[in-house]
Amino acid sequence: MLAEFTIFPIGKDVSLSKYVARSLRLIDESGLSYRINPMGTVVEGSWDEVMELVKKCHMAILEDTERVSTTIKIDDRKGVVNALDRKIKSVEEKVGKELKK
């Protein structure tokens, strides 16, 4: 399963990179495959692995603030592995070239 999620504190500084960095340390330490992008992070793993990781990240940000917003988008397809790379390669094949990542 792929899950793209964004977690941020509400009512804090304009720059949120220190909160993003805190979550990304947890994501990196999880051992799950992931990709960051300017608007969130995509993680690949089982339902339980991904949801536990999202919960850890949410709770870590909640330690620093009174309010946290978490948004999750899920793509769950039976029997598919390595979807992070496979989905991008499929589109690149159709476009006929490697795209920016």
Of 14, 18, 45, the closest CA to residue 5 belongs to 45
Residue 19: the pLDDT is: 87
pTM above 0.85, yes or no: yes
pLDDT in tens, the chain (101 residues): 999 999 999 987 788 888 889 999 999 999 999 999 999 999 999 999 999 999 999 999 999 889 999 999 999 999 888 888 888 888 999 999 998 87
| Residue 11 burial (C-beta neighbours within 10 Å; 0-12, 13-18, 19+) | exposed
Domains and CATH numbers, the chain: 2-95 (3.30.70.930)
